[in-house]
A and B are shown apart, each in its own frame.
Chain A
């Protein structure tokens, strides 16, 4: 019973963390939206990464991957978002 509870608590905690990453992605997108040129494309990109339910490093890696195929302005848009994420990562305290 204890182990199942622990596992359930662990799963819940992990889900919570992944939801936080999704929320962070959306927040950062909103914060840097005024500076983004390809607004719709970026919004879609952020949603698709957020829905994947990945960790922050995974999300960053996915965005960096998208940069490889993007043109100059879209690359800059993604970099701006990545900068915002870095900034947010630095100021957020890790949850206990």
Chain B
């Protein structure tokens, strides 16, 4: 007895003709359930396990039975997917089956032509595939609403994607509106590959009043070969690095990517940002690999994206460099390898991306994370892969009580069927899961706001539409942030090549600007009102267009485990650690060796490493680094609160930088670390919440969110340019309104982790969190990442990253040979700087007065000896001796740093003395100062003797 046995013969014969003889595990379990009317379900199974068929076969079976009894007219099944591209694939598979059964299926989304829409209004398809926004568009539509009255089932694909955002909140309410229009319960089915909190996601689907049991299947069948590599540069990589202006470690990763692609049939290379997808594409082009590849992300035009997908499917191209635009279940053929460039940041992202390889149940998914040379990145990658193998996925964070979504949906309610009683509105609000706790008072406040703005009218306890309602509703169908985008057009072909953010264009783009799109450089010819005309360029060093921030946060659980890995690594012998890291975390040899070395070096510098019960506060002189693995949002929250508290206490502005593992606090004067410890111990949760909100109000993050929410609630016109909006004035004016409330709620939910931060304060107060203050002579490797802003995620926006240029310069300086002369005993030797210790002393007499000269300069040895013997020096000799003494004084005071400075082009002892002055203790500041002096020399050398 198989799951297919419950299906009609006609369907079974079709399935056999398609080679579907045996149901997959999810189909086996789900079909017998869903064939029963009104049985809701949330189906959870891996990508490529046949979830779509598991949901649609039983529903189509019921529809087919109905068609045998009467003529069908209307839409009977709705299939909602988050992406337009998904629609095309699902549609192709279903079209054949529906045709076989005499049923009709069509797609509807933003790109559907007017003609197609009119056709659907006249002859509605039995099965309609659409996006959540399109559902919103058709609910109040005159004809389509009538056709929706026959709907008996709705299927939501990739529901975990929707649940994590306001699209899910909006969809959840939309389903309740649909049911109200139909006047009877509908069957609700959700499809999800990975979700950490299935019951909450089932709530989005079924609402608090209905039940949607979870059906899991197929996870044990999916094999995954996942590993972490950390490529190190070879001498060839160093050569290439100079040729294409790209740092050696980045070239090593590039080389590895090219090798891996060559060794597989078809590869997906995922990056974390669109900017970097462009940079990587550009650098790969520069290396001229022996195969074709494409770049793919959401800001490229539809034609370009489709072309890339088709080329991979047909085998014309061997790889696509992509962002999350390719994460969801689009079938682009059998990609046999997925490469993730640097940590994917979360388990769900890792699973979605690696799941794109071997896109069917029996095929093995092969995935490689290429970590950057950074302890955070390497460890995080290993931890995420381990959690991915165990399916320990993050919970979806469902936006609840979203004022802007409810504002829009209430408008929708009035459009659906005219005036509606307040009680009925309240009932409907509570029947939608994300609004189940929305109070009557809150609803009154919202309705007041809406009536003030003319979005609805409230009279005699009934809410009704106004002349503004329809326009507002249709102009605000989408909950996705409304950043104005401007098309970049190839002026030769007049074809669109992509879109650029308005703020990027305003800040960076003018005639002559060069940037990279689709891996190819373009020069801007002119910037028009609504488009940017471009022509292909030939430069290598190009600016990658910046897209709005897309870096997803590292969750607390991952950050916690990363710290645990570091602690365990240093507690083991090298051999034990290597074996453990390879086995548990699938790290390559180079990655393992690097992690062990860095962890040990940090442990040596700090004396201990951070953990759940132990924070380390590192005083680096120019600031404090609080090592605490709280994840991105936890660090962000704690950083903001601490900065606010310390600013008040110290009376000076405290700057804060953070990453998922640490917080850097800086100020114009030294911050007493004891004050940080005090701050952690002396505030209760309520105080922290208040402080956080006060502090957030003044941040750029809040201001940006406020504008987005203001746009969505009709306070700011959608077309208004961000730069022309008086943000601060608006924030003050709307302080006690739903707009402010929602903006604050959104920032807290998306950027902050209040509970984790509060937990640290509580633990510190109760003595369950120790904070150890350390003051190492040299900054720990762990601190260096946040202090030197060494972005492990490669470049966001600039191809030539300043820090990597400085690193190249440092290498050059260290490789310089200089003549050292002891001013005390006359010892002399020509040495390469990299071979010297930090303190430079004479090997004969231990003097630190070591003069520095050009390697071939030996005159000073003779002059110094003459001086020691008490003989008189000539004018010229006196000059040379003075210069020698100056350099020796610098070396005596600053050691190796002095040699680095003096090795700089055109830098003499006086310039070096200025460079080495106070405040230049840390490596990066010193290197910047040397670079500046070299530039100045290059600029002015024609004026020198």
Contacts and interface: CB of A to CB of B under 8 A. Distances in A.
B198 interface: no
Interface string A59-86: 0000000000000110110011011001
B122 A72 contact: yes
Contacts of B149: 83, 87
Given A79-B73, A83-B150, A34 B142 contact: yes
Contacts of B122: 72-73, 75-76
Contact of B146 (A32, A72, A75, A86): A32
Interface in A25-47: 32, 34-35, 37
A78 B142 CA distance: 15
Q: Interface of chain A, helix or strand or loop or mixed?
A: helix
B73 A83 contact: yes
Interface residues of B, number: 14
Contacts of A35: 142-143, 145-146
B71 to A, nearest CB: 9
B74 interface: yes
B258 to A, nearest CB: 57
Interface in B585-643: none
B484 interface: no
A82 B73 contact: yes
A76 B142 contact: no
Contacts of A79: 73
B123 A76 contact: yes
Interface residues of A, number: 14
Contacts of A34: 142, 145-146, 417
B439 to A, nearest CB: 33
B137 interface: no
A72 B123 CA distance: 9
A34 B417 CA distance: 9
A75 B73 CA distance: 11
A32 B149 CA distance: 11
B890 to A, nearest CB: 87
Contacts of A82: 73
Contacts of A32: 146
A83 B149 CA distance: 9
Nearest to B119: A72
Contacts of B147: 80
A37 B121 CA distance: 11
Interface in B108-145: 121-123, 142-143, 145
A73 B121 CA distance: 9
Interface in B41-73: 70, 73
Contacts of B123: 76
B426 to A, nearest CB: 24
B65 to A, nearest CB: 16
Contacts of A75: 122
Interface in B65-90: 70, 73-74
Contacts of B146: 32, 34-35, 80, 83
Contacts of A72: 122
Contacts of B74: 83
Given A82-B73, A83-B73, A76 B150 contact: no
Nearest to B74: A83
Nearest to B416: A34
A35 B70 CA distance: 22
A45 B150 CA distance: 24
A34 B74 CA distance: 16
Contacts of B150: 83
B184 to A, nearest CB: 9
Contacts of B143: 35, 37, 76, 80
Contacts of A73: 122
A34 B150 CA distance: 16
A65 B149 CA distance: 24
A90 B70 CA distance: 13
A72 B150 CA distance: 20
A83 to B, nearest CB: 6
A32 B146 CA distance: 7
A5 to B, nearest CB: 40
Contacts of A86: 70
Nearest to A64: B71
A72 B122 CA distance: 7
B120 to A, nearest CB: 11
A36 B142 CA distance: 8
A67 to B, nearest CB: 11
B452 to A, nearest CB: 29
A79 B142 CA distance: 14
Interface in B892-931: none
B72 to A, nearest CB: 10
Interface string B717-747: 0000000000000000000000000000000
Contacts of B73: 79, 82-83
B427 to A, nearest CB: 21
Nearest to B73: A79
9 contacts: A34-B142, A34-B145, A35-B142, A35-B145, A37-B143, A73-B122, A80-B143, A83-B74, A83-B149
Given A32-B146, A79-B73, 8 more contacts: A75-B122, A76-B121, A76-B122, A76-B123, A80-B147, A82-B73, A83-B74, A83-B149
Give the 5 A-B residue pairs with the shortest CB-CB distance, closest first. Answer: A35-B146, A79-B73, A76-B122, A80-B146, A72-B122
